[in-house]
Amino acid sequence: MRPVSTDSQRPVAMTLRLYRALERAFPHEFRNVYGDELLQAAEDLVEPVWRRHGVAGLLRLLLDLAWRVPVEYAAELRYDARHGVRKLAGSPGFTAVALTSITLGVCIATCAYSEMNGLLRDLPGVPAPEQLVSLQAPVSYPAYRRYRELPNLFAGSFAYVAPVPFGVQSGARTERVWGHLVTAGYFSTLGARPMFGRFLDESDAQPGLAPVAVVSFRYWKLHLGSDPSVVGRRLRVNGGTCTIVGVAAEEFLGASPTIFPADVWLPVTVDARLAPEMGKDALERRDLSMFQMVGRLKQGTSEASAQAELNAAAQRWADSYGDADRHQKGLRVQLMGGGKILPLRKQDVPFFKEFLMVLGGLLLLIACANVANMMLARAVDRRKEISVRLSLGASRARLIRQLLTESVLLSVASAPPALLLSYWLMHALSQLKMPLPIPVGFDLTPDWHALLFTFAATGLAGLAFGLAPAFQATRTDLVQALKGSGGLRAEMRRVPRLKNGLMLLQMAASLTLLLMTGYLGIGIQSTLGVQEGFDPRNLYMVSLDPVRDGYAPERAADFLEKLLERVKSKRGVISASLTDTLPVSLDGNAGIRFLNADSSEDGRRAANWARKHTVGRGYFETVGIRILSGRGFQRQDERAGASAVIVSQEAVRRIWNGADPVGRRIELGNAAAQGGFGAMPGTIDFRASALSAAPVTYEVVGVAGDVSEDLVASKKHSAVYFPLRPADHAQPSLRGVTLLVRGAPGVDVISAVEREIASLDTRVTPFHASSMMEHISQFMSMLKAASWTYGLIGLFGLVLAAVGLAGVTAYSVAKRSREIGIRLALGAQKRDVLALVMKEGALMVLLGTAVGLALSIAGIRGLSGVFFTVASVQGYDPMLLIGAPALLAGLALLACYVPARRSTSIDPAVTLRSE
């Protein structure tokens, strides 16, 4: 080429340099065939193009070449994809096993991500949710007023009472709808916008005004016929009338859509006849902590500084009012993220992310190690093909890319079935009913985030199980490999190191997964059997709430008493009783604190906690709980001012050391309600009678048998039973008033009760009608589902490990068939050959078990501090810590033994003839 030294030739020289750089970017095989022609063409064309077309011509020349680079790579990729599909189709057994393994691994990982994503989503329809914080425990309304007035803390704040049941009349029928009682800043602080009309504001809080309401998009669509002119329409709520002023946007689901669902929002200033929760001066009482508080932090205010200031203010007020707990240590106010559908403390969020992803990641890791081992064995089988291609000029990078294309094709093919399976599983889990008095639901169905995660997981999995075999397969001694059998010895010196490392990883991950899921599953199984202590057979329940249906409290009491008498007189009814609580339920009350009113020997009176039950006459006989001492409740115990209570046998053991307490006095005060995730969602009872903490002296009139009504069946709690009084109907519980009926076998009790209710008043709507056996089944449904889930995850990990070990051992036997044949020909015994083959597998099993056991113990320690089901398994259960490794090791050794046993049937004559 002519020298280019003048200034006018500088563009030509620069173009040549860029052209040569682009030529080096082409695929290796393309450069081998066309590289010299490209360079020669450049030297011949650049200068004429420069002279004729100038800079524009040179740019067009470079762009033409640059465009060809991705085209050639795409052509190679298409060839690799077609070649990979042919190879996978040619090994249907390998493809089916590998595809199944990766599909299930990716499915479990996607399910774990969907659950994490479903629990940690931002509030829909709320801008800048990260600026919102909420108080972990409910507060009184006076406390809320003081907190919101703190300077330089909140840009906006609100308080609300939730969950609140409303009896909303729809035609001639009253439906039970859940909602919130909110302060004026509820919608403005959240930043929500209405679809129709307006939201509540300060003008709606003025006393004497007609009550107004906001309804959700869901309620507007399902119950109001999607009427666009709904604003101004009258809505009959709890027997009163209010005016609809707005409809929330479709995406807006309230301040706590998961744990406190809402379809109707009313101001906290409404009359107690419309919202019984606001009776008895609820807005003025400092001892009535029933308001959830949420605030939007001002710009520059951190959550930590806000919590410190709130705690300092709470301590000052406790000192100024002389509260009994003013000397308590620790935090009085704890903040949580208020912009999530499930309120969580910051320190709790990593757990939800890490635990779920660790389980899914472990299973995906086992699946990847399994497939990697199979692909490693398969790649060694192709060593001659790879050696020939390398000797003909193919680059190692080119072959690695081709092998990786096969693995990525395999993993991408698993994405659609994995996503469909995970969608089906998580949709089924989302439909599972929670054993709660309110319709709490978790939407765990995979969304577009899960779709992206699935394809990312499959791509990474393809690289994970394809990269190591691809690198190993291309590290071939060409001379030895082309000789044939000699190449096998070269391969077998290198492959075991990687193969054994993958086996060790697979065993350790499998044992870790098996033990963690085993502790969770067995811990959950130990909680089953809650019906101990009473007889659930032929026991039925129907709930009512006449006050929400428009009845005055006195009239509601009369209605319920009349209904009870009519049901008792029905044929087939053995006994019946009204009750506020059930023997197996999450009913919302925070329990009670009690003190033995008699002086103890050392002059001190220790406070204790007990479950609180409010039950009517005949409750114990109807449910089947024995009265061990004293008597049950009688009519005189229901009068105002009566002080009779019944305690459980466990309370007698704890407080009176087993001595008969009948006739003794006891001081009782309601325990403080705990909010946030520390309590089961939707289980806080906000009635004034449930939250009043002032202790009152009662007389013990009876001792009842214990009922294992907790989620942990073997754990008995102290319990105190109060008589159900007519005054209790003024503020019914979240469950309403339940009519318990024990019927004769074969009698349709529920239909009979519903007919009696309709005959008395069609406006009273029964709900939660079921048998006690169905109720218990629903109560345990979440635990049973979790137990099955953990069990299946552990079992799948176990099977994957066994299949992987069996496949690797079978491959090892096949590749050592020559060696085994020669040993047998020279007189080796079959048991010696069997021991030779088993030795390597047994060593990997033992090493993997040791590593997995160490990792498992660390994981179990972390789980026991969070899951009560793990803590309920006493200590390090030997059945798990010894049984699980023994089970895994036994299954792994069996998986190794089957192909090893087959090796003893090799015919030495056939082996020697092949040489």
Q: Worst-scoring range by mean pLDDT, 25-29, 63-67, 234-238, 619-623?
A: 25-29
Mean pLDDT throughout 860-866? Answer: 58
Mean pLDDT throughout 763-782? Answer: 84
Task: Please report the pLDDT score of residue 879 as a whole number.
Answer: 66
Q: How far, in Å, CA of 724 to CA of 733, rounded? A: 12
Q: Is the pLDDT of residue 284 over 70?
A: yes
Task: Please report the pLDDT score of residue 871 as a whole number.
Answer: 43
pLDDT bracket for residue 684 (50, 70, 90) = low
pLDDT bracket for residue 687 (50, 70, 90) = low
3-class secondary structure for 790-854? Answer: HHHHHHHHHHHHHHHHHHHHHHHHHHCHHHHHHHHHCCCCHHHHHHHHHHHHHHHHHHHHHHHHH
Task: Write out the two tokens for 108.
Answer: 């479990």
Q: Is the pLDDT of residue 619 over 90?
A: yes
Q: How far, in Å, CA of 280 to CA of 688, rounded? A: 8
Q: 517 or 154: whose pLDDT is higher?
A: 154
Q: Which of 58, 269, 277, 273 is nearest to 163 (CA)?
A: 277
pLDDT, tens only, 382-408: 666 777 766 766 677 777 787 888 888
Task: Write out the two tokens for 470.
Answer: 């691809």
Q: How far, in Å, CA of 626 to CA of 637, rounded? A: 19
Q: How far, in Å, CA of 343 to CA of 898, rounded? A: 53
Mean pLDDT throughout 232-246? Answer: 90
Task: Please report the pLDDT score of residue 356 as a whole number.
Answer: 73
Task: Please report the pLDDT score of residue 789 as a whole number.
Answer: 73
**Which phi and psi (to 5°) does residue 204 adopt?**
-80, -10
Q: Is the pLDDT of residue 107 over 60?
A: yes
pLDDT bracket for residue 358 (50, 70, 90) = confident
Q: Which of 193, 235, 227 is nearest to 210 (CA)?
A: 235
Q: 840 or 1: whose pLDDT is higher?
A: 840
pTM of the model: 0.76
Q: How far, in Å, CA of 248 to CA of 215, rounded? A: 6
Q: Is the pLDDT of residue 627 over 90?
A: yes
pLDDT bracket for residue 324 (50, 70, 90) = low
Task: Please report the pLDDT score of residue 479 as a whole number.
Answer: 53
pLDDT, tens only, 696-726: 888 999 999 988 766 554 557 788 999 998 8
Quickly tell me which residue has 């669509």 as its tokens: 221
Q: 284 or 852: whose pLDDT is higher?
A: 284
Task: Please report the pLDDT score of residue 876 as a whole number.
Answer: 55
Q: How far, in Å, CA of 3 to CA of 14, rounded? A: 13
Q: How far, in Å, CA of 136 to CA of 675, rounded? A: 6
- Residue 520: in which H helix or E strand, if any? helix 485-525
pLDDT, tens only, 519-546: 666 666 555 555 568 888 999 999 999 9
Q: Is the pLDDT of residue 755 over 80?
A: yes
- Asked if the peptide bond before residue 163 counts as cis, ω within 30 degrees of 0, the response is yes
3-class secondary structure for 41-85? Answer: HHHHHHHHHHHHHHHHHHHHHHHHHHHHHHHHHHHHHHHHHHHHH
To the nearest 10°, the Cα dihedral for 109, 112, 118, 121? -80
Q: How far, in Å, CA of 165 to CA of 260, rounded? A: 11
In the chain, the percentage of residues whose pLDDT exceeds 70 is: 77
Which of 114-118, 601-605, 908-912 is modeled with the greatest confidence?
A: 114-118
Q: Worst-scoring range by mean pLDDT, 436-445, 470-479, 787-796, 899-908?
A: 470-479
To the nearest 10°, the Cα dihedral for 561, 566, 567, 570? 160
Q: What is the mean pLDDT of the chain?
A: 78
Q: 217 or 440: whose pLDDT is higher?
A: 217
Q: 761 or 68: whose pLDDT is higher?
A: 761
- Map residue 427 onto helix, strand or coil: helix
Percentages helix, strand, coil for the chain (3-state, rounded to 5) are 55, 15, 30
**Which phi and psi (to 5°) does residue 30 adopt?**
-65, -40
- Residue 610: in which H helix or E strand, if any? strand 608-615
Q: Which of 13, 748, 672 is nearest to 288 (CA)?
A: 672
H-type helices in 667-816, by residue range? 688-691, 749-760, 772-779, 781-815
Q: Which of 101, 281, 253 is nearest to 178 (CA)?
A: 253
Q: Which of 187, 189, 207 is nearest to 197 (CA)?
A: 187
In the chain, the percentage of residues whose pLDDT exceeds 90 is: 20
Task: Please report the pLDDT score of residue 216 as a whole number.
Answer: 94
Task: Please report the pLDDT score of residue 734 as a whole number.
Answer: 81
For residue 577, the cross-strand partners are: 740
Mean pLDDT throughout 583-598? Answer: 67
DSSP secondary-structure letter at 136? S
Which residue type is seen at 672?
Answer: A
Q: How far, in Å, CA of 867 to CA of 201, rounded? A: 43
pLDDT, tens only, 114-129: 888 888 888 888 999 9
Task: Please report the pLDDT score of residue 590 as a whole number.
Answer: 65
Contact 589, 692 (CB under 8 A): no
Which residue type is seen at 296?
Answer: R
Quickly tell me which residue has 């115990």 as its tokens: 637
Q: How far, in Å, CA of 548 to CA of 625, rounded? A: 31
pLDDT bracket for residue 45 (50, 70, 90) = confident
Q: 894 or 293: whose pLDDT is higher?
A: 293
Task: Write out the two tokens for 213.
Answer: 């309401």
Mean pLDDT throughout 319-338? Answer: 78
Task: Please report the pLDDT score of residue 486 as a whole number.
Answer: 43
Q: How far is CA 253 from CA 136, 160, 187, 249, 303, in A?
A: 20, 14, 11, 8, 24
**Residue 75 CB contacts under 8 Å (≥ 6 apart), including other chains:** none
H-type helices in 91-158, by residue range? 92-119, 141-148
Q: How far, in Å, CA of 503 to CA of 886, rounded? A: 17
CA terminus-to-terminus distance, the chain: 59
